[in-house]
Amino acid sequence: MRRSFLTGLVLVALLLAGCRGTQSDNPPFHMNLDMDFQQKFGPQEANPFFEDNAAMRAPVPGTVPRGELRNNSALYEGRTEAGDYVDQVPIAVDRAVLERGQDRYEVHCSVCHGKAGAGNGIIMRGDYGYAPASSYHIDRLRDAPDGYLYDVIANGVRNMPAYGQKVPVQDRWAIVAYIRALQRSQNATPDDLPADQRMELVEGEPDGTQPTAAE
């Protein structure tokens, strides 16, 4: 009697052992919930007091946070005081900025515009019915001022929604700088290379293999 009871217990335990970590919609079990859900609101939590049930409230339009007075129209709007697009990126561009731009470009932009900027990202290749993304390697965009590209990121254009709410100002300019680098890369001539690397290009095999040694 006792023996069968014990074997049964062990069998049940083994059976339940399979349940560890399996997916279930039972909420996690906590012995003591005293301070797990405190009477305050964190970011993106629900607050039943308001009609839309959100604890995060939208600021009144026109309010300016301390330290975020955006009074530099070239930097924040990509436009001069007169309202024209600025020709040049208004921040200092170095290698770190370009690499940041590449990183952000590949996170936010390459999904549609493609990693090389030819307008062939996965959303465009997949036939999902999205309005075609433009290639950066067309004359209209090569000649467009930097401020225009900034404005498109910040506010969107035609069928492309705005990314300003997701991409901070410095990152937008970094992306613009990287797009300029992409445009150069797809429109380059051997003269753009430094002299020593140009030699390698000339000596490389016509089938594209690397030269064994540069003289």
Partner 1 sequence: MPQLFPKKANSLPILSLGASLLGGVLLVFLVWYYFSPEFKVVGYQPEQPVPYSHETHVDKLGMDCQYCHTNVANSKHANVPATQTCMTCHSQIRTQSPKLLPVRESWANNEPIEWTKVHHLPDYAHFSHAAHVNKGVGCETCHGRIDQMGADGVYQAEPLSMGWCLDCHRQPEKYLRPNDEVTTMGYTQPASFIERNLDRIKEEGIQPPTNCSACHY
Should residue 11 be labelled a site residue for partner 1 when binding is judged by CB under 8 A?
Answer: no
Question: What is the closest distance, in whole angstroms, from the C-beta atom of residue 5 to partner 1 in the complex?
Answer: 11
> What DSSP string describes 43-81?
TT-B-TTSTT-BSSPPPPTT---TT-----HHHHHSB-T
Should residue 37 be labelled a site residue for partner 1 when binding is judged by CB under 8 A?
Answer: yes
| Residue 117 identity (one-letter amino acid) | G
C-alpha 136/C-alpha 118 separation (Å) is 6
20 vs 95, which CB is nearer to partner 1? Answer: 20
Question: What is the closest distance, in whole angstroms, from the C-beta atom of residue 74 to partner 1 in the complex?
Answer: 24
Question: What is the closest distance, in whole angstroms, from the C-beta atom of residue 149 to partner 1 in the complex?
Answer: 18
Q: Sign (positive/negative) of CA torsion 93, 99, 100, 102?
A: positive
Among 6, 11, 201, 202, binds partner 1 (CB under 8 A): 6
DSSP state for residue 94 in the 8-state scheme: -
Helix (H, G, I), strand (E, B) or coil at 85: strand
Question: What is the closest distance, in whole angstroms, from the C-beta atom of residue 39 to partner 1 in the complex?
Answer: 9
Should residue 158 be labelled a site residue for partner 1 when binding is judged by CB under 8 A?
Answer: no
- Residue 170 has phi, psi (to 5 degrees) of -60, -40
Should residue 4 be labelled a site residue for partner 1 when binding is judged by CB under 8 A?
Answer: no
Q: Sign (positive/negative) of CA torsion 179, 180, 183, 184?
A: negative
| Site pattern 173..212 for partner 1 (x: CB under 8 A) | ----------------------------------------
C-alpha 94/C-alpha 91 separation (Å) is 10
Strand partners, 15: none
Residue 158 in contact with residue 87, Cβ under 8 Å?
A: no
Span near partner 1 by CB under 8 A; candidates 67-75, 159-167, 180-188, 194-202: 159-167
Span near partner 1 by CB under 8 A; candidates 26-34, 138-146, 181-189, 205-213: 26-34
Interface ranges with partner 1 (CB under 8 A): 6, 9, 13, 16-17, 19-30, 35-38, 40, 42-44, 46, 52-54, 103, 106-108, 111, 122-123, 126, 128-131, 159, 161, 163, 165-167
